[in-house]
Structure 1
Amino acid sequence: MARVVCVHGIGQQHGGEHALHGAWHPALADGLSRHGAPPLRPEDLRCVFYGDLFRPPGRVLAAQDPPWDATDLDPYEAELLRELWAEAARTDPAVAPPDARTLARAPRSVQHALDALSRSRFFSGLATRALIADLKQVRAYLCDPQVRPLVQHRVAEAVTPDTRVVIGHSLGSVVAYEALCSHPEWPVRSLLTLGSPLGIRHLVFERLRATGEFKPGDWPGGISRWTNLADEGDVVALVKDLRPLFGPRVEGHLVHNGARAHDATRYLNTAEAGRAVAAGFALE
């Protein structure tokens, strides 16, 4: 029975729960060590996996599908892309900032954004097709009414009477927040969010959904502690301080993850992550 349940973010469609566990468990164990807390047993951590929901099914060999390009983004995806571009330009001098002309809602402006982000440190090495695929995963979870229940069901299956801490990375922080808001009866005592897009207005915050008398910004369920970690260069964590939207009880920390600002394992192996998890155990 896992004491810690982890929820991954986008871009995991070719992974799996066991591979994630193999990377996340030692990283969090190192974070606990940095904090001076006892080690975490492998069986104490479970990774919720939902990336397969975004993996296209196999098919009979035929003509290859054309790669996605700027014309394949819908209005939501294009708007999210422009927000990421603006944040990348703020944190990376190699990225030219958008202006009124390049922010116009047209395929050419979307292509400008894709070209700019391809030159950024944050998206270095990520092909345009992969970036578009990631944007489509965010839209699918937040906008497709068939996807969210499937993901939420997997989280609900993972939480047990022994679970005290839920960790959400990237889009997984949105999934985790909504799950806790929907289940105040769960025994979870602490939420740890890493590289979270929860604070992005209009595109994420206003689209949050949960059961019951829920409204975006509500405290997530019956937890006692919420810690949010963000790297200054993490473009996905566009809003670093969640307190204006979710209240003063959110404990926020800026950490330094080096060149891989959004990497989940680099968040997990920090003393701040170890402190948050250990504090969740102490609330038992």
Structure 2
Amino acid sequence: MVIIGVHGIRCYRYFTQAGTVAGATEALAAEWAAALGLPAGHDALRAAYYAPLLHLGATQGPDDPELLPRTAQGLLVEWVSALGAPAEVTMGPGTLPVRQAVGWIAERFGETAKRFAVLFCREVDTYVTDPASPHRASVQEEVRGVLAREQPRVVIAHSLGSVVAYETLWHHPVELDLLITLGSPLGLPNVIFDRLSLGEGNEGRKGLRPPGVRRWVNIADVGDIVAQPRDLPGRFPGIDAHHEVALGLVASHRATQYLARTEVAAELARLT
């Protein structure tokens, strides 16, 4: 049974460490396979690795929210609003809202979450802001190519990868026994949900299970600030099973922690 893993943000580091896309892909797949409990050297899990296609280089600047593109700053403010920040945090002239937004995140979730938020909004903005973006098209083409070549039974998609996988499976349908989304931001209003692009003739099907997918399972940590809103089936009736889990605040968005959950193992066991 072939499984394809579609990663989320913060994965360019695999390329930095490995030096090649092939090496990065192999390292990511090995890490995910280990988290699933597959034996070392097991090749059932392969990765669709697209991180370099969203990496804009040094021009992105350090983890300073005011150096984000205006569109990414807007996404950050919208996201913080969805997390429950009061209006006084998300309203104001100039760059005041984005400064207040990251300050609110740091106060509520810690400095690590603040840095994560800036990186998340940078990568999400690069992918979702323009439906006709060459970055968006190239990422989907990479995933499409992997799916066509490997012909998996299962796709496991984490974080932004769930958005990539969902759109790709609408634009380029394939037969899958199982789609598992982990820590998915698919339902985030304004930030993600309203920007989804499913292809010509499919816009009215937003929220449905992608064609060709027999079962869709979503898993979200109760403290995951990316997996918002937590009741994803409320926006996506195509989800067949939804599990809320508790990974712990520090690990609440890590792919490996999600992959190690018994709920993932149980869903995979149904197919064997």
Q: 8 Å contact 1:77–1:136 — kept in the other structure?
A: yes
- Cα deviation, residue 252, structure 1: 0.4
Give ranges in structure 2 of 5+ residues lacking alignment: 15-23
Question: Could you tell me which amino acid in structure 2 is paired with residue 261 of structure 1?
Answer: S
Q: Which residue of 2 aligns with 1:224?
A: 214
Q: 8 Å contact 1:190–1:225 — kept in the other structure?
A: yes
Match of 1:205 among 175, 193, 217: 193
CA distance in 1, matches of 2:171, 2:105: 36
Secondary structure in 1 matching 2:88: coil
Give ranges in structure 1 of 5+ residues lacking alignment: 31-38, 59-63, 91-97
Question: Could you tell me which amino acid in structure 2 is paired with residue 266 of structure 1?
Answer: Q
Q: Which residue of 2 aligns with 1:78?
A: 73
Higher helix residue share: 2
- Cα deviation, residue 218, structure 1: 2.9
- Cα deviation, residue 73, structure 1: 3.4
CA distance in 2, matches of 1:233, 1:193: 16
Q: Does 1:113 align with 2:101?
A: yes
Q: TM-score with structure 2 length normalisation?
A: 0.83
Q: 1:19 to 1:161 in 2, by over 3 A?
A: closer
Q: Which residue of 2 aligns with 1:196?
A: 184
Q: 1:105 to 1:13 in 2, by over 3 A?
A: farther
- Cα deviation, residue 52, structure 1: 1.2
Question: Could you tell me which amino acid in structure 2 is paired with residue 46 of structure 1?
Answer: R
Q: TM-score with structure 1 length normalisation?
A: 0.80
Q: 1:181 to 1:66 in 2, by over 3 A?
A: closer
Q: 8 Å contact 2:78–2:191 — kept in the other structure?
A: no
Q: 8 Å contact 1:161–1:187 — kept in the other structure?
A: no
Q: Does 1:276 align with 2:267?
A: yes
Structure possessing the higher radius of gyration over alpha carbons: 1
CA distance in 1, matches of 2:150, 2:44: 13
CA distance in 2, matches of 1:65, 1:196: 24
Where has structure 1 moved over 4 Å in runs of 4 or more? none
Question: Could you tell me which amino acid in structure 2 is paired with residue 197 of structure 1?
Answer: P
Q: Does 1:50 align with 2:40?
A: no
Q: Give the aligned length.
A: 256
Q: 8 Å contact 1:13–1:53 — kept in the other structure?
A: no
CA distance in 1, matches of 2:251, 2:63: 25
Q: Does 1:150 align with 2:138?
A: yes
Q: Which residue of 2 aligns with 1:140?
A: 126
